[in-house]
Structure 1
Amino acid sequence: MNRLYAIGRTMVAFILLFTVFNHNPRASAAGTQLPFDDISDNFATEAIVHLTKLNLINGTGNRKFEPYKAISRAEFIALVDRLLAITPVSSAISPFSDVPKTAWYYEWVQPAVQLGIVQGTSPSRFEPDRSVTREEASVLMTRALKQKVGIPIDVDTLYLDQDLIEAWALPSVYHLHQLGLMEGASGNFRPQAPISRQEAAVLLNRVLTRSGWSEQIHATPAPKIQLGWQYGQTTKQFEQQITQSHVNTLSPRWFFLGKAGTVENQIDPSLLPWAHKLGKKVWAMVGNHSDQLLTHQMLSSTDQRKTFIQNLSDIVRNNGIDGLNIDFENVRPEDRNYFTLFVAELAKQLHAIRAVLSVNVSPDFGSDWTEVFDYAELEKYADYIVLMAYDEHWGGDAEAGSVSSLPWLQKGLETLMTQVPASKVILALPLYTRDWYSNATSMTSSAEWSLLQQNSLVQSHVIKPVWNDYLGQYYASYRSQNMQHQLWLEDGRSLTLKALLGEKNSIAGYGYWYMGGESIDIWASLRNVMKFSSYHFS
């Protein structure tokens, strides 16, 4: 008995000693701290735990993560958006018939589409529940990280199953391999295999923990000028719209050219302390009522010009206004030099009291409407040149068309920037559209619509917008009261493309004509542009 007892104690001691030397502290700690019961200590554990703590990834319920389950397109895009700190967007217009507004992923698909991170599987379908293949995941992540990829060279031995990788995915697969973000196993990439939830977690975690990348994601982009014009609203309405936006520079319609150089003054001084308390600037608009004769008389007369400038300067100084925004339209081409002289003299006066001068100009397409604007000369005196990138087709136009198509805007911006540095350019975007209508016997006419009016029509299911990739906006037609109607819509998607073009050119900021015309979702879309454009992952 004593001998058996001794042998037994020896065996117990051996087992205890074996346990101590083979104990895995990480596995033990993980076993008591893991957020899910169905994840084990493997290559993905650390990533899953890290992303869960950051609220970037969730389980599937009842403390389950289902690590081997294939991840859907909707789930993957939601993860990418969260990773990049992209704000969810609930636009009025859905790009896909199978992405209903009631779906949890609707607000995640929208910004990813707007920013060009993801596309549909067809012009009208997204297939949100379809599994993401590993090669598709590589392409989506490459777009999300804004990586420039080309056709890889000398990659014959990268993976044993490389011949199975589609040509459209091979550059992304190769690039992510080079970055160490996505790899294969046992020499194979398995391109058509669905990417699992744990593999997706590892991919996202590698992005987040790469040196310098997390800092970019968590940084606040440098602020740019965000100019919002008042039009048809009371001061209180204007203030309410400002608080719902990211506008930091207010432009109320306070001043107009009067007779003999006088100023028609419609100032509401209560706006100034309100704006300044919130850290916002006020650049009051100065208009000319599109009156050619009155404008010519002031510009061409030394005395009237001097009187008008002095009156404006006195009002700015006495009221603590931060600057002026000159909005002279329908000015005679022969007043080109006079207008430049007016801007030069006004700038001198405003700069002496530390006020800002911005001047609105139209895109130059060789018409009399824009001949008065000498871009190169105006830039010498004004602090900012504001390009009014709208009215491509206007109310008096006999031809129906877009208010601001992307190629039209791009050409206008490129022309301006040949003469004005990006640091002085403000790109003004439309928060309105036009409803064009005609019948068999009448000429084409139109009515100006706010985006709220446009969206109300969309939501009533009267129309089915179709995306036009070339124009960069949705188009729709419908019949009402024996009239044929056409709409070129402006929304978060179209405005995002316009703003992305501005960011590509590193311009000073943006203007919005007009506050109150927008739907609330467009501000989230535009904030995403500023955030996404600030990333330079390298």
Structure 2
Amino acid sequence: MLAAGVFIQHISADNGVPFDDINTSYAKKEIIDLYNRNILTGTSNTKFSPTQSITRAEFITVLDRLLKLDPALSPVSPYTDVAKSAWYYGWIQAAVQLELANGTSATTFAPAKAVTRQEAAVWIAKALKQTNTATAAQTNFKDRQQIASWASAAVAKVNDRGVMKGDNSGNFRPADPITRQETAVLMDRVLQHTSWAAELESNPDKRIVIGWQYGLTTAQFENHVLQSNVNTLSPRWYYVGKTGAVTDSTDASLVTWAKKNKKQVWAMVGNRSDQEATHQMLLSTTARNTAVNQLAALVSKYGLDGLNIDFENVAAEDRVYLTSFITLLAEKMRSLDVILSMDVSPDLGTDWTEAFDYAALGKQVNYMVMMGYDEHYDGSQVPGSNASLSYDQKAVNTILKVVPSQKVILALPLYNRDWTLNQKGTVLSSQYITLPEQNQIISSYASRPVWNPSLGQYVAGYSKQAIKHTIWIEDGRSLITKYNLAVTKKLAGVAYWYIGGESSDVWSSLRNAEKFYDYTF
């Protein structure tokens, strides 16, 4: 017999009843149904323990399964009492990453602690997006004064929606533990709500998800894409020189593979950040036409679905010429019925972005990709995040003033920086790191990350040879906060620089986000 609280995935049940201790339970029918749906499981191979209190870890697991989420096996966790080897680790991570649940403190989750009725109300309200306080007027429970202030709105909401009710004496009993059979009844009530049940069976809306190829062979790139939620591939195949001539590094096998796997290919077109060569090309009508015609020929030759223009370090004085070039290229792409997208940097009021006329370019291209990273970069005098939530919010809000949201894609980083600081916190240096490298550092030095809600990131520090290091972490949770920004602002999608820089766990986290943020309960 297994320890209480361990969830077992049953395959079959004798006589249609999976547990031998539920015949007298008032929730027998609900328990069997939820077991068959793989939402509820037992405390052993034969026992459900209906009157036993349900733990925080168990309740979160049930909610995750109800929402059809997957365990999120992120290596980054703030909780000292949630072991990575624990059966509930991924389920707790999935809920915490989506802000469906919090710990009992910044460093503890108390997975084995019994869930109280008011805690259950809060978690259910969050899971069903019933957090609007407008309907939280008052409840008629006799013991309503005993309901904690942080739970009162949720209790009123789930009571109003018929999910949680009081006892026969008119009390809610907010501090009482909730039992496993009570939990079964609550989950069943959710599924009996027709519109909620339909939402849980629906598929997420299709958004553009671009993955850029960098540093990987075609075979490696394809393998990483198959593990991801990427539906649009952007390999770095073309570069435009000063005469408008375009270098061609196309791998036609990737186009064939993409079509077979129902992915689009928007090949990247770069300028190698060569400001002078770009200036000469943009200034010359002949060179601009050469570039446009050669790019059009490549699109037709290889059957591409689109292009992704990535011109960086363009001189401010070339602002008008860049717009003219994009206008000409957009007209040609429209004639071929293919997509033209363009990468732009956040407008920080510097010469780096002066060449980008957001409004004018936005009228020509199908999509503008906002590169929401490099907030702090190699050479920055002040250490900080590579892509904080506030930084991306400002970048998106700025471009949305002149470009429709359905034309904007937010690009997110699958890389980071490890900052080396002196005793005063001044930058000594920074090192470019992939997410697996970041995670290895955190693990090796047993760093305990602290979540910063304003940044939408964990921050962790460690010392190496008496030298202080700080990392503003990119992981499933931080990427989800930025993905949610794209959903909230109704953007066309997201992009990731670059495929191969990620740790594999981020994809399950992002799939959870795609699913949960599309629910409209």
Same fold (TM over 0.5): yes
> Which residue number in structure 2 is paired with residue 515 of structure 1?
499
> Which residue number in structure 2 is paired with residue 230 of structure 1?
213
Q: Equivalent residues in 2 for 1:56-71 (5 A)? A: 56-71=39-54
Amino acid at match of 1:473: Q
Q: Equivalent residues in 2 for 1:174-185 (5 A)? A: 174-185=156-167
Of stretches 439-448 and 489-498 in structure 1, the one that deviates more from structure 2 is: 439-448
Shift in Å at residue 296 of structure 1?
A: 0.9
Q: Equivalent residues in 2 for 1:208-219 (5 A)? A: 208-219=191-202
> Which residue number in structure 2 is paired with residue 279 of structure 1?
262
> Which residue number in structure 1 is paired with residue 185 of structure 2?
202
> Which residue number in structure 2 is paired with residue 172 of structure 1?
154
> Which residue number in structure 1 is paired with residue 412 of structure 2?
429
Shift in Å at residue 38 of structure 1?
A: 1.6
Q: Does the 8 Å contact 2:137/2:156 carry over to 1?
A: no
- The CA distance in 2 between the partners of 1:477 and 1:417, in whole Å, is 36
Shift in Å at residue 477 of structure 1?
A: 2.0
2:351 equivalent to 1:368: yes
2:31 equivalent to 1:48: yes
> Which residue number in structure 2 is paired with residue 159 of structure 1?
141
Q: Does the 8 Å contact 2:266/2:306 carry over to 1?
A: yes
Q: Deviations over 1:260-292 (max 9, x none)?
A: 111122221221101111111111101111111
- SS of the residue aligned with 1:246? coil
**Distance of aligned partners of 1:386 and 1:154 in 2 relative to their CA distance in 1, 3 Å threshold:** closer
Of stretches 398-407 and 72-81 in structure 1, the one that deviates more from structure 2 is: 398-407
Identity %: 49
- SS of the residue aligned with 2:209? strand
Q: Does the 8 Å contact 2:131/2:154 carry over to 1?
A: no
Q: Does the 8 Å contact 1:473/1:493 carry over to 2?
A: yes
Picking from 455, 469, 475, the partner of 1:485 is 469
- The CA distance in 2 between the partners of 1:395 and 1:360, in whole Å, is 21
> Which residue number in structure 2 is paired with residue 81 of structure 1?
64
> Which residue number in structure 2 is paired with residue 464 of structure 1?
448
Q: Does the 8 Å contact 2:25/2:50 carry over to 1?
A: no
> Which residue number in structure 1 is paired with residue 8 of structure 2?
none
> Which residue number in structure 2 is paired with residue 495 of structure 1?
479
Shift in Å at residue 182 of structure 1?
A: 0.6
RMSD, aligned CA: 1.8
- SS of the residue aligned with 1:99? coil
Q: Deviations over 1:354-382 (max 9, x none)?
A: 11100000111211111111111111110
- The CA distance in 2 between the partners of 1:414 and 1:97, in whole Å, is 37
Q: Does the 8 Å contact 1:399/1:444 carry over to 2?
A: no
Amino acid at match of 2:52: K
TM-score when scaled to structure 2? 0.94
Shift in Å at residue 197 of structure 1?
A: 0.4
2:288 equivalent to 1:305: yes
Q: Deviations over 1:90-126 (max 9, x none)?
A: 0011121111101110000001001010001111110
**Distance of aligned partners of 1:207 and 1:420 in 2 relative to their CA distance in 1, 3 Å threshold:** same
2:232 equivalent to 1:249: yes
2:502 equivalent to 1:504: no
Q: Deviations over 1:285-311 (max 9, x none)?
A: 011111111111111111111111111
- The CA distance in 2 between the partners of 1:51 and 1:413, in whole Å, is 42
- The CA distance in 2 between the partners of 1:459 and 1:478, in whole Å, is 11
Picking from 111, 126, 149, the partner of 2:109 is 126
Q: Does the 8 Å contact 1:400/1:444 carry over to 2?
A: no
- The CA distance in 2 between the partners of 1:339 and 1:143, in whole Å, is 47
- The CA distance in 2 between the partners of 1:275 and 1:92, in whole Å, is 31
Shift in Å at residue 35 of structure 1?
A: 2.5
Q: Does the 8 Å contact 2:34/2:184 carry over to 1?
A: yes
- The CA distance in 1 between the partners of 2:392 and 2:267, in whole Å, is 25
**Distance of aligned partners of 1:126 and 1:153 in 2 relative to their CA distance in 1, 3 Å threshold:** closer
> Which residue number in structure 2 is paired with residue 350 of structure 1?
333
**Distance of aligned partners of 1:155 and 1:356 in 2 relative to their CA distance in 1, 3 Å threshold:** closer
Q: Does the 8 Å contact 2:419/2:427 carry over to 1?
A: no
> Which residue number in structure 2 is paired with residue 22 of structure 1?
none
- SS of the residue aligned with 2:477? helix
Shift in Å at residue 440 of structure 1?
A: 7.0
- The CA distance in 2 between the partners of 1:328 and 1:83, in whole Å, is 45
> Which residue number in structure 2 is paired with residue 444 of structure 1?
428
Shift in Å at residue 444 of structure 1?
A: 2.6
Shift in Å at residue 398 of structure 1?
A: 2.2
Of stretches 104-113 and 500-509 in structure 1, the one that deviates more from structure 2 is: 500-509
Q: Does the 8 Å contact 2:383/2:427 carry over to 1?
A: no
Of stretches 395-404 and 42-51 in structure 1, the one that deviates more from structure 2 is: 42-51
Picking from 51, 65, 78, the partner of 1:95 is 78
- SS of the residue aligned with 1:341? helix
Amino acid at match of 1:119: N
**Distance of aligned partners of 1:292 and 1:487 in 2 relative to their CA distance in 1, 3 Å threshold:** same
- The CA distance in 2 between the partners of 1:443 and 1:506, in whole Å, is 37
Amino acid at match of 2:504: I
> Which residue number in structure 2 is paired with residue 192 of structure 1?
175
Q: Does the 8 Å contact 1:439/1:482 carry over to 2?
A: no
- The CA distance in 1 between the partners of 2:137 and 2:103, in whole Å, is 32
Q: Does the 8 Å contact 1:94/1:100 carry over to 2?
A: no
- The CA distance in 1 between the partners of 2:427 and 2:23, in whole Å, is 72
- SS of the residue aligned with 1:475? strand
- SS of the residue aligned with 2:214? coil
2:115 equivalent to 1:115: no
- The CA distance in 2 between the partners of 1:327 and 1:131, in whole Å, is 53
Of stretches 238-247 and 512-521 in structure 1, the one that deviates more from structure 2 is: 238-247
TM-score when scaled to structure 1? 0.91
